[in-house]
């Protein structure tokens, strides 16, 4: 004999008893800030307060002589300014170079005088010192170099004199040739005039 469904299924009180008190973990929720509510009246009031200041700044910039509307220099003025700056820089460079040359020349003179004084003092103390012999040999070498340079210069001078003499001879021949051409031109002109006269008659 089969049992009735009332004895097979559990009673409804089982489900309702379990769902009556569900587990709940009590935690404090964070306090969020109150959302910002824009106030149209305050925004319009701030806008109307700042607008006159902005208009004043715009008018001031428009009337300012140092604004972007200022007249720009022409290309000629720019070139003149560049030339003036370049000329000033060149003059300053020349002055510095001359000053440097003067300083080096004065320094060389001081060193040469000191070397001569030291040579004289060494000659008085030890006339046969090897440094003095090297100084003498250096003087000889310098004199020989000077003589070689002098010979080279004299050879160059002679060469230039020969060029000048040749140029003078060529110039005289050119003058003679020019005179001959002028005479021939005059002769041709006279023949042409006589021929035209005969033709007209």
Spatial separation of the C-alpha atoms in residues 49 and 114, rounded to whole Å: 85
Most confident of 143-147, 155-159, 170-174, 181-185: 181-185
- pTM for the model stands at 0.29
Mean of the per-residue pLDDT values of the chain: 72
Question: Between 20 and 80, whose confidence is greater?
Answer: 80
Alpha helices in 27-129 (DSSP H): 40-63, 75-125
Q: Is the pLDDT of residue 7 over 70?
A: no
Q: Is the pLDDT of residue 95 over 80?
A: yes
């Amino acid at each position: 004999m089969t049992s009735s469904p009332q004895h097979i299924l559990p009673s409804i009180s089982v489900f309702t008893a379990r769902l009556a008190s569900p587990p709940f973990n009590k935690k404090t929720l964070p306090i969020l800030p109150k959302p910002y509510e824009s106030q149209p009246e305050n925004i319009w009031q701030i806008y109307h307060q700042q607008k006159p200041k902005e208009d004043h700044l715009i008018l001031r910039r428009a009337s300012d002589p140092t604004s972007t509307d200022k007249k720009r220099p022409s290309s000629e003025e720019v070139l003149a300014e560049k030339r003036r700056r370049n000329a000033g820089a060149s003059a300053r460079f020349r002055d510095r170079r001359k000053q440097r040359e003067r300083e080096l020349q004065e320094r060389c003179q001081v060193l040469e005088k000191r070397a001569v004084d030291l040579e004289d003092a060494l000659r008085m103390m030890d006339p046969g010192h090897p440094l003095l012999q090297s100084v003498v040999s250096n003087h000889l070498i310098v004199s020989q170099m000077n003589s070689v340079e002098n010979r080279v210069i004299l050879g160059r001078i002679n060469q230039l004199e020969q060029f000048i003499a040749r140029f003078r001879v060529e110039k005289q021949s050119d003058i003679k040739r020019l005179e001959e051409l002028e005479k021939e031109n005059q002769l041709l002109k006279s023949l042409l005039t006589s021929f035209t006269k005969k033709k007209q008659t």
